[in-house]
């Protein structure tokens, strides 16, 4: 048989389209040709496959070898096609026989010795392979990640020889038994933060409803400490959320089995570019906002980010997804993240401090805050001022509530939201806001006054209602009352609003 066809998977965003690896051997001058829009990593498979076949004890055929990766218009990247290409050559040259070839899919990078190395994106590929009922053969180091797909048949192998022995029936591969050990949740405790009762309350409201939060205050007031403690207040991830988050990290090659079902916390430096934040590259990969899917994205020193970088956040904050478009490719990534940002009130950071150390002029303050556009600020639910900690609070012992106690309340509030509308309050659409977030007469009157005095937009109006709904859920009340609306309005008055 001079032709062999095996199944593998490419990556296109979170999707893993099927790729047919067709290997044909013909008479003629010895050559090795790869076609099917391969990237550089795939083209380099020729030398890896040649050495792996020879070092595994097989003969590399001295024939005209043509490998086609179909469909031809789908770009192929990474070394995951090494294994199916090598198997195709061995089958087409008659060195091994594989009667069960059609019931398997293959992915794995080969070392020169024939050992299999892990590849990224195995979770997405395994999901697609499971949907068509095929077993998935992959490197042993990637098996735990792929085994997160329940009921999927995972066949791990450590070398090309093991896969050949399995296909010939000599030594079948044993299905992988998941050994995912979830590490205990280790996050900083909220009780360690001294003072800042209002900021802690805002953090609890943000955690309960999935709301975005912007904190403004002088250096050393505890903004970063508060942000780092938000993951410890969030409810546990559902299985679907954990799988989606793991799939994104698998695409980026940053998945760790020990972090399974733990909320991600991404904190990029303010020098990050727009592609680093939203995703990009010749072959689009997820950025920081997608890596924070179902978790927290913390942007410290918010005005120090480039304006175009911050403006790129506007769409995903509203829709929960990002589309990365390039001339040749387009990829959609999920980006349902919870934004937490921190900034100083002025360039020197001491505006409003009791020491009077600030020497910034009004024009400097306006220019500094003007780095944040109105449309971006309009999409942030909670904006609070975090004042400097007093001397008594610094020298005294921290006596706040621990994260575990606050988390119980946020979990109860989130359960009420899921039972009522099937999603957190922050994800409600305009029609759902009108259905679930209408206040009583006192709350409606208060909100009407706020619309006039604060000159709020329609988006800000809906966000106040969603925050008020979360505050009522924390209080265990079905009706949004005046005090709930008043507190929600207060959270729109940050940054001197």
Write down which residue in 402, 418, 449 finishes a domain: 402
- Tell me, yes or no, whether 444 and 348 share the same domain: no
- Is residue 159 domain-shared with residue 197, that is, in the same domain? no
The per-residue DSSP string of 402-469 comes to PHHHHHHHHHHHHHHHHHHHSS-GGG--HHHHHHH--B-HHHHHHHHHHHHHTT--HHHHHHHHHHHH
Say what the pTM is.
0.86
- Give the domain range for residue 25: 3-168
Name the average pLDDT for the chain: 90
Q: Residue 179 above 70 pLDDT?
A: no
Q: What is the pLDDT of residue 497?
A: 44
- 388 and 435, same structural domain? no
pLDDT at 181 over 70: no
Measured distance CA(274)–CA(305) in Å, rounded? 10
How many domains does the chain fold into?
3
Distance CA(112)–CA(117), nearest Å, equals: 11
How much is the pLDDT for 183?
A: 58
Residue-level pLDDT at 495 = 60
Q: What is the CATH number of the domain that holds 460?
A: 1.10.8
Q: Quick one: 55 and 110 in the same domain? A: yes
Decide if 27 is inside a domain: yes
Q: Is residue 176 in some structural domain?
A: no
One domain, residues 358 and 288: yes
pLDDT for res 57: 94
**Is residue 325 exposed (0-12), middle (13-18) or buried (19+ Cβ within 10 Å)?**
exposed
Tell me: the pLDDT tens digits for 226-253?
Answer: 999 999 999 999 888 988 898 899 888 8
Residues 162 and 203 in one domain: no
Which sign, positive or negative, has the C-alpha torsion 406, 191, 485, 317? Answer: negative
Helix (H) or strand (E) holding 172: none
Number of H helices, E strands in the chain: 21, 18
Query: Same domain for 377 and 478?
Result: no
Residue that finishes a domain, picked among 168, 201, 230 = 168
Asked if the structure places residue 225 within a domain, the reply is: yes
pLDDT of the residue at 18: 94
Domain boundary among 110, 135, 168: 168
Do the domain assignments include residue 177?
A: no
State whether 163 and 202 are in the same domain.
Answer: no
- CATH label of the domain that carries residue 24: 3.30.230.10
Average pLDDT over every residue of 211-235: 93
Average pLDDT score over residue span 258-281: 89
The answer on 448 and 494 residing in a single domain is yes
In this predicted structure, the answer to whether residue 385 has a pLDDT above a threshold of 80 is yes
Asked if residue 185 belongs to a domain, the reply is no
The answer as to whether 411 is a domain residue is no
On whether both 90 and 122 belong to a single domain, the answer is: yes
Instruction: CATH number of the domain at 319, please.
Output: 3.40.50.300
What confidence category does residue 157 fall into, taking pLDDT thresholds of 50, 70 and 90? very high
Do residues 310 and 202 share a domain?
yes
- Provide the 3-class DSSP secondary structure of residue 163: helix
**Residue 415 is assigned to a structural domain of this protein:** no
Q: Is the pLDDT of residue 352 over 90?
A: no
Surface-to-core class of residue 169, CB atoms within 10 Å of its CB (0-12 exposed, 13-18 middle, 19+ buried): exposed
Write out pLDDT tens, residues 297-324.
999 999 999 999 999 999 999 888 998 8
- The yes-or-no verdict on residue 70 having pLDDT over 90 is yes
Query: Does residue 14 sit within a domain?
Result: yes
Residues 236 and 347 in one domain: yes
What would the mean pLDDT of 209-231 be, rounded to a whole number? 93
């Amino acid at each position: 048989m001079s032709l062999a066809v095996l199944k593998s998977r490419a990556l296109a965003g979170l999707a893993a389209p099927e790729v047919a690896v067709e290997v044909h051997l013909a008479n003629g001058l010895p050559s090795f040709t790869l076609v099917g829009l391969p990237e550089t990593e795939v083209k380099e498979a020729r030398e890896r496959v040649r050495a792996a076949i020879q070092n595994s004890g097989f003969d590399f055929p001295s024939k005209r070898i043509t490998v086609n990766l179909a469909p031809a218009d789908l770009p192929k990247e990474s070394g995951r096609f090494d294994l199916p290409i090598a198997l195709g050559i061995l089958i087409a040259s008659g060195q091994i026989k594989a009667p069960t070839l059609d019931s398997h899919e293959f992915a794995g990078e080969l070392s020169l010795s024939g050992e299999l190395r892990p590849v990224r994106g195995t979770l997405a590929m395994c999901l697609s392979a499971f949907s068509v009922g095929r077993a998935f053969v992959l490197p042993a180091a990637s098996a735990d990640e792929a085994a997160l797909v329940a009921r999927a048949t995972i066949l791990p192998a450590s070398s090309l020889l093991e896969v050949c022995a399995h296909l010939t029936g000599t030594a079948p591969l044993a299905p992988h038994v998941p050994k995912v050990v979830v590490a205990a949740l280790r996050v900083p405790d909220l009780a360690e933060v001294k003072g800042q009762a209002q900021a802690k309350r805002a953090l609890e409201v943000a955690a309960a409803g999935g709301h975005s939060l912007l904190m403004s205050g002088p250096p050393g007031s505890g903004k970063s400490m508060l942000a780092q403690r938000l993951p410890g207040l969030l409810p546990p991830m559902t299985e679907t959320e954990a799988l989606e988050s793991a799939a994104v990290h698998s695409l980026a090659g940053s998945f760790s089995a020990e972090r399974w079902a733990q909320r991600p916390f991404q904190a990029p430096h303010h020098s990050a570019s727009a592609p680093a934040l939203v995703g990009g590259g010749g072959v689009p990969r997820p950025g920081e906002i997608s890596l924070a899917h179902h978790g927290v994205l913390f942007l410290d020193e918010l005005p120090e980010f480039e304006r175009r970088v911050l403006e790129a956040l506007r769409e995903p904050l509203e829709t929960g997804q990002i589309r990365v478009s390039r001339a040749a490719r387009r990829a959609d990534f999920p980006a349902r993240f919870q934004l937490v940002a921190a900034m100083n009130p002025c360039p020197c950071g001491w505006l409003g401090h009791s020491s009077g150390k600030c020497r910034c002029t009004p024009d400097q303050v306006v220019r500094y805050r003007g780095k944040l556009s109105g449309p971006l600020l309009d999409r942030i639910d909670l904006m609070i001022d975090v004042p400097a900690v007093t001397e008594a609070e610094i020298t005294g012992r921290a006596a706040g509530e621990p994260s575990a106690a606050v988390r119980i309340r946020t979990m109860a509030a989130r359960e009420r939201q899921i039972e009522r509308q099937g999603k957190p309050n922050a994800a409600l659409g305009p029609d759902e806001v009108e259905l679930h977030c209408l206040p009583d007469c006192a709350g409606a009157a208060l909100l009407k006054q706020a619309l006039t005095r604060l000159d709020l937009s329609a988006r800000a109006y809906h966000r106040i209602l969603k925050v008020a709904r979360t505050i009522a859920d924390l209080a265990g009340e079905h009706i949004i009352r005046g005090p709930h609306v008043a507190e929600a309005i207060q959270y729109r008055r940050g940054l001197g609003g």
